[in-house]
Amino acid sequence: MCAYRHLLSIDADRYRDHLLRLDVDSRYARFSGFTSDATIKRYVEDIDWKKSRITGYFHEGELRGAGEIRFEKALLPARAELAFSVEKEFQNSRVGTALMARSLIMLRNRGVTTADVVCLLSNRRMQKLALRYRADVEAHSGDVFMTIKVPYGNIGTLLSELTDGYIGWMNTGLDLALTLPRPSVFLAARSPRHLHDGAAL
């Protein structure tokens, strides 16, 4: 089962593990250079969740893609930076496109008017994605700086985010339920002593 939902601070370990699973090329593209495991761990530890918003793509309960927003400030931000990561086996499946769309809807609903995306000149996939939203592009010293003008949100974008969040958490709950043992299996695993001792009365 697949689902998109917002990550909370309690999901930090999931986000860290997702970033650590990125293959060499995907990790290089995400962080614009070679990045060690220790650096990724510190990166996640240093996230200010009051100024960040991360949308996760879950496949069978495991985080496989993420769109990260870093707001310029916690209250009434006008600008934010976007970054995306998708594990190799889930690339070319429009996961990045869906994460970008959801991230921009969140920016619209929060009054953010400018979104910045920075990537390497070699990261054509990210550039193509940003250009779909008419990004202004500048290249300097091997880096590409893209600026997307974000329109204000409306009732449609608000309902879209609310509905998407509800469906995401509902699917997450279903994934969790599927991992729990069935009652009959649970009871069969218990010994007769446990079924008849005083604590069970």
> Cβ(67)–Cβ(103) under 8 Å?
yes
Strand (E) positions, 36-92?
52-59, 62-71, 79-86
pTM of the model: 0.82
> Does 15 reside within a domain?
yes
Q: Output the CA–CA distances (angstroms, integers) from residue 118 to 33, 140, 186, in the order listed.
A: 12, 11, 51
> Does 141 reside within a domain?
no
CATH number of the domain bearing residue 178: 3.40.630.30
Cross-strand pairs, 144: 119, 139
What is the C-alpha end-to-end distance of the chain, expressed in Å? 39
> Cβ(64)–Cβ(20) under 8 Å?
no
Range of the domain at 184: 2-110+154-200
Tally of domains within the chain: 1
Say how far apart CA 137 and CA 158 lie, in whole Å.
Answer: 29
Say how far apart CA 30 and CA 10 lie, in whole Å.
Answer: 22
> Does 60 reside within a domain?
yes
> Does 51 reside within a domain?
yes
| Secondary structure (H, E, C), 139-170 | EECCEEEEEEECCCCCHHHHHHHHHHHHHHHH
Strand (E) positions, 98-142?
114-120, 136-140
> Does 72 reside within a domain?
yes
Q: What is the pLDDT along the chain (201 residues), one digit of tens a residue?
A: 789 999 999 999 999 999 999 999 999 999 999 999 999 999 999 999 999 999 999 999 999 999 999 999 999 999 999 999 999 999 999 999 999 999 999 999 999 999 999 999 999 999 999 999 999 999 998 999 999 999 999 999 999 999 987 776 676 665 555 555 655 544 444 444 443 334 433
> Does 146 reside within a domain?
no
> Does 129 reside within a domain?
no
> Does 57 reside within a domain?
yes
